[in-house]
Amino acid sequence: MSIITVLGAGAMGSALTKPLVDSGWEVRLWGTWLDDHLIDAIEAQRPHPRTGAIVSSAVTTYRANSLEAALEGADVVVMSVASVGVPRVTELALSGISKAKALWLTSKGFCPNDEGVIQLLPEAIRTIAAKHGVTLPPIVAIAGPVKANECAEGKPTATIFGCRDGALAEEFAIRTSTPSYSIVSTDDEVGVEVCAPMKNVYAIALGIADGLGEATGVPHHNLKAAAFTQAVKEMSLLGQALGAKAETAFGLPGVGDLEVTGLSGRNKVYGVRLGKGENPQEAIAQMERLEQTVEGVPAVALALTLVEQTGGVSLEDMPLLRAVAGIIDPSQLLDPLTAVQEAALTRR
């Protein structure tokens, strides 16, 4: 039996243990220094505070001070912490990661390097490893329309594994698929990693359309559909500029993940609040108090910089990205309806 160690006991990290156990892995789950209350619930066989599901007793749990033990002998390591924590956890776990056959990555976001260049998370992890003189195993980017609570409960779920080594991605996809957890594979790591954080940004715009409907009593479904279409176009354009395949954004990482996030994700919920007229800063502060991380908010500024640093695409090509940025920027506070409408109904 192969050993897999999941780093991060939050919603996605704990949810992933369900298909891993079901597909025959020996599963370890390590909690960061912020996860003690989550590990407490798991060990007591209570519902996970963020997914409502009970984590299998077959999963061995480890607390923050037991990282070395959690990584000992692991065949695969999974990075499943919030994007802001990826650099720190990577540094702490480098020794164990370097001995594994692969590093899987469910974290979604962008990461600036020491020179301020915005990197996709796999490249950021590789940069950190090189800085410490460590050779990494292949990285497998995991994305797609996966709500953590549904995955944790074993409900039908489709996801995608992306790796530069397409054969390795396919091998792990076959190894880990179950009747309710279907995995497709691709060699387009970049495309998967572009869509993962960008869909969080665009889900805010979709939420705004829903919030406008709630505030006025009149649905804004047409606006939401137009924003959805523009979002997929922009994800594809940015991905291509960075070397991705154009079609990746039209599959599970883009269309699929944006659909599920635009239905009920935290980024969508934040957008709903904006559409109903809440102040962006007050709305995000209240969600953070409830431990509801809205990763699309910090991703907006990083995405703007990434576009500016990337040849082959410009901010003129990304009107919906600019609209979301202007809506949440306290120095602009653009009107949500006007900004999304102008971006989504563009004729470009």
Catalytic residues: 199
Query: 221-241 vs 296-309: helix axis angle to the nearest 10?
Result: 50
Q: How far apart are CA 197 and CA 199, in angstroms?
A: 6
> What count of other Cβ atoms lies within 10 Å of the Cβ of residue 44?
9
Sign of the alpha-carbon dihedral angle for 164, 113, 203, 31: positive
What are the tokens at 68?
């070395």
| DSSP code per residue over 234-294 | HHHHHHHHTT--GGGGGSIIIIIHHHHHHHH-HHHHHHHHHHTT--HHHHHHHHHHTT---
DSSP category for residue 310? S
Q: How far apart are CA 263 and CA 277, in angstroms?
A: 19
3-state DSSP assignment of residue 63: coil
Task: State the amino acid at position 259 in one-letter form.
Answer: E
Q: Pairing between strand 110-112 and 118-120?
A: antiparallel
Sign of the alpha-carbon dihedral angle for 250, 163, 156, 175: positive
What are the tokens at 206?
């979709």
Q: How far apart are CA 307 and CA 210, in angstroms?
A: 27
Distance of CA 58 to the CA centre of its chain: 26
